[in-house]
Structure 1
Amino acid sequence: METKQIEKVLKAPAPHMVGDGFRVHNFFPSGYKINMSPFFLMDYGSKIEFSARKEPRGVGVHPHRGFETVTIAYHGAVAHHDSAGNSGVIYPGDVQWMTAASGILHKEYHEAQYSLTGGPFQMVQLWVNLPSKDKMGKPGYQAIKQADMAHFDLPENGGKIEIIAGNYQGIKGNANTFTPIELYNARLNKGSEATFNFPEHFNTGFLVIEGSIKVNGSETAAADNFLHFKNEGEEIKIEALENSVILVLSGEPIDEPIVQYGPFLMNTQAEIHQAIEDYNQGRFGYLEE
């Protein structure tokens, strides 16, 4: 099987704040102009210490339409509320998969107890595009706890691959997706190896959350680096140079035009105008600040 080579190892772009609770590095589409469809956006909140605070930090009520948000927690805890009546808390290892589709309001805050104690905080949020036929579908919500997550144990106590979405070694991930997506947390112990196989045309990237890895026996990548792979070959081998956590993304591109305006991701300018009108008319529901 032909090896899928690295196109580029990308360092974390300068961070910016989202609300007052999320310090993020935007790898794409702002930081780097790379094609990762169906993943439209990746905000990486590298590890940071937040001080204790009574009033939780976060982001107030805001709308989304036309895509899904996927939030993956590594340190800290985030509380979520939305206008479809969903709410929950994601703790380290948990994943929250929100389908905005035709329109939703939501807010995200540091969970109250975490806020009171403070401590390390590390998260990833992805925007996953929806195909045009599903953009105006019904909003949805999938809460995936780490304890319930499908996983594959690597041999000889090498660690494990947590399968958020897709299929690894015949084990199916928990999340339901609209297009073919592979999304894993690879938790590798020092010296262990893992092999991944993705179709040639899938857009593929690895984010090193913790530790450092050697890829395909040659290139190395440290924590907070993103590896963007070529659309050639299928097999990727990684070796953990120390205990490491790697977020693995691969998906079939959605070959449709994209028009983005703030929190809306549609196919045409007219659909963006409609989204703004619907939001202004209160058609996204109601959510208390």
Structure 2
Amino acid sequence: METKQIASILKAPAPHMVGDGFRVHNFFPEGYKINMSPFFLMDYGSKIEFSARKNPRGVGIHPHRGFETVTIAYHGAIAHHDSTGNSGVIYPGDVQWMTAARGILHKEYHEENYSLIGGPFQMVQLWVNLPAKDKIGKPGYQAIKQSEIAIFNLPDHGGKIEVIAGNYKGILGNANTFTPIHLYNARLNKGEKANLSFPANYNTGLMVIEGSIEINGKEEAHADSFVHFENKGTEIEIEALENSVILVLSGEPIDEPIAHYGPFLMNTEAEIHEALSDYNQGKFGYLEE
């Protein structure tokens, strides 16, 4: 088995605000021009303290088409509402997997009780591209509570791998995906190791949420940095230099053209124009402010 080599270890780009509730570092595609298909975008909200507030901060109603949003909470609580009637709150450890497909409106805010109290807030949002054949399919919604996430316990109380999607050593994640994707939270205790294995052609990265790690016995990566791997080799070893949380993402690339405009991710410019027209005609449904 050949080791998967590191292409780069990327520091968090300068943050920007999404609405007034989400301070994020965009690692890709804006922050760094790396190919992580089927993951098109990653906004990482590093840990921040929000003061108490009666009116919750957040992002108002906006559309999406052609992809999925995957939101993972580490601190704080996020409320969601969309035009298909789905709503919910994700707390630390929970995952929300929304399939926009042919079109959806949604809004995201700090959950009301969290907003009233304030405190630490940390999250990740991924945009996962959909194949052309699924871009105009039916929207969907998967709410995955931490208690429902499949777990592989590492030996000798070394920590655990929470399998959100894909599989880890035969443990299958509960999230349904349109293309092959592995998505884990690795929670490792200091001095403990975990071994990962992905096909050579899969685009693979590690987002260090907390702590610091050594990769393949060679290079260190610290909190708020992203480790991007080359598309060769299959094996990765991570060792926790302190108690650490690592988001692991790996997926089979979607080899199709991309046309991107704002909240739309399609294959052609004509499809972008169609998405804008459909949105303006109210075809994405209705969502109350």
TM-score band (shorter)?
A: over 0.9
Question: What residue in structure 1 maps to residue 26 of structure 2?
Answer: 26
Question: What residue in structure 1 maps to residue 73 of structure 2?
Answer: 73
The alignment partner of 2:71 has SS state of strand
Structure 1 residue 232 corresponds to structure 2 residue 236: no
Amino acid at match of 2:185: N
Take 1:31 and 1:130, find their aligned partners in 2: how far apart are those partners?
22
Question: What residue in structure 2 maps to residue 198 of structure 1?
Answer: 198
TM-score, normalised relative to structure 1: 1.00
Structure 1 residue 12 corresponds to structure 2 residue 12: yes
Aligned-CA RMSD value:
0.3
1:25 Cα offset (Å): 0.1
Q: Map Cα deviations across residues 93-114 of structure 1 (whole Å, 9 max, x no partner).
A: 0000000000000000000000
Q: Map Cα deviations across residues 255-284 of structure 1 (whole Å, 9 max, x no partner).
A: 000000100000000000000000000000
1:85-96 counterparts in 2 under 5 A? 85-96=85-96
Q: Map Cα deviations across residues 67-121 of structure 1 (whole Å, 9 max, x no partner).
A: 0000000000000000000000000000000000000000000000000000000
1:151-162 counterparts in 2 under 5 A? 151-162=151-162
1:205 Cα offset (Å): 0.4
The ranges of structure 1 where at least 4 consecutive aligned residues each deviate by more than 2 angstroms after the TM superposition are none
1:42 Cα offset (Å): 0.1
1:287 Cα offset (Å): 0.1
Question: What residue in structure 1 maps to residue 254 of structure 2?
Answer: 254
- Percent identity among equivalent residues? 82
Take 1:231 and 1:64, find their aligned partners in 2: how far apart are those partners?
30
1:148 Cα offset (Å): 1.0
Q: Give unpaired runs (5+ residues) of structure 1.
A: none
Take 2:153 and 2:16, find their aligned partners in 1: how far apart are those partners?
36
1:39 Cα offset (Å): 0.1
The alignment partner of 1:156 has SS state of helix
Question: What residue in structure 1 maps to residue 64 of structure 2?
Answer: 64
Structure 1 residue 123 corresponds to structure 2 residue 116: no
Question: What residue in structure 1 maps to residue 147 of structure 2?
Answer: 147
Amino acid at match of 2:251: G
1:191 Cα offset (Å): 0.7
Question: What residue in structure 1 maps to residue 137 of structure 2?
Answer: 137
The alignment partner of 1:276 has SS state of helix
Q: Map Cα deviations across residues 208-236 of structure 1 (whole Å, 9 max, x no partner).
A: 00000000001000000000000010000
Q: Give unpaired runs (5+ residues) of structure 2.
A: none
Take 2:279 and 2:219, find their aligned partners in 1: how far apart are those partners?
47
Equivalences, count: 289
